[in-house]
Amino acid sequence: MTETLQKGTLYVVATPIGNLADVSARAAWVLAGVDRVLAEDTRQTRRLLDHLDLHKTLTPLHEHNEDRQLAPVLEWLRNGESLALVSDAGTPLISDPGFTLVRAAREQGLPMVTVPGASAVTAALAVAGIPTDRFVFEGFLPPKPGARRKALEALAREARTMVFYESPRRVAGTLGDMGAAFGSDRPATLARELTKAHEQSVYGTVADLAEQVAEGLIPLKGEFVLMVAGAAASSSGLDVNSDHLLTELMTRLSVSDAARMAARITGQGRSGLYQRALVLQERE
């Protein structure tokens, strides 16, 4: 390695999302060289360090102690220690702790270096088969069904591919709500257990995926990423401005019928179009 490890620097280090062989040579070199490793779960990180044959001091840094740990961690950096921040899996700060520390280090002008590697969002998109030129990462949806439905309805007109992290307990319910919000014909990919022994990546419509989950062809075990094509990519192919269409339809139909008709014409989700129709009606 021609690079020299910098004193007083926070290294934000990505680790594998399952397969330990995915750890980069640079990540291993940084973990070997730093004075301390700040770990979300010390047992999980110990497994990675054992794999790399490294024996390091591990300091817990997770969502429950990040605020409390901030002052000592910043002090260590100011005293010239080099630190590595790692999460359980993948890239720290991506639906994982670390933001409070990184923001504080940024505000205090302390040096930071990123050590990139795996993240479930990019790993899943790479084999999804739905557009990846533009995408929006939504992380975890709200766990309560009402809030989840609202969040999805607000995304019904999103033109970019949407990426969600989801727990196995909620995948079936989320797919049902996605069908209602986006239309059950929307192309989607469900990725499960990426880089692990039971890796699975299934492409279809939202309805196909819900069916395969219901039939047990996609077991509700392990870790999941759900990706859904944006509204534009899944439209009928007609260049229709849905605001104009809804406005025109509402001159003859009720809001609800106009939304249903617009959903059939454009391929967009009925609930999203209904919400939009209500907004347009208020503007009239």
Binding residues for ligand SAM (CB under 6 A): 17-18, 87, 89-91, 94-96, 119-121, 165-167, 191-196, 223-225
62/260 with CB nearer ligand SAM: 62
28/249 with CB nearer ligand SAM: 28
CB 284, min distance to ligand SAM, A: 42
| Residue whose C-beta lies closest to ligand SAM | 90
165/274 with CB nearer ligand SAM: 165
CB 274, min distance to ligand SAM, A: 29
CB 281, min distance to ligand SAM, A: 38
* CB-CB contact of 263 with 235 (8 Å): no
Judged by phi (left if over 0) then psi (alpha if -120 to 50, else beta), residue 267 lies in left
15/69 with CB nearer ligand SAM: 15
119/271 with CB nearer ligand SAM: 119
17/188 with CB nearer ligand SAM: 17
CB 128, min distance to ligand SAM, A: 12
CB 11, min distance to ligand SAM, A: 16
CB 96, min distance to ligand SAM, A: 4
CB 224, min distance to ligand SAM, A: 5
DSSP conformation letters of the chain: --S-PPTT-EEEE-B-SS-GGGS-HHHHHHHHHSSEEEESSHHHHHHHHHHTT----EEE--TTTHHHHHHHHHHHHHTT--EEEE-SSBSTTSSSS-HHHHHHHHHTT--EEEE----HHHHHHHTT-S--SSEEEEEEPPSSHHHHHHHHHHTTT--SEEEEEE-TTTHHHHHHHHHHHH-TT-EEEEEESTTSTT-EEEEEEHHHHHHHHHTTSS-S-S-EEEEE--TTTTS-S----HHHHHHHHHTTS-HHHHHHHHHHHH---HHHHHHHHHHHHHH-
8/173 with CB nearer ligand SAM: 173
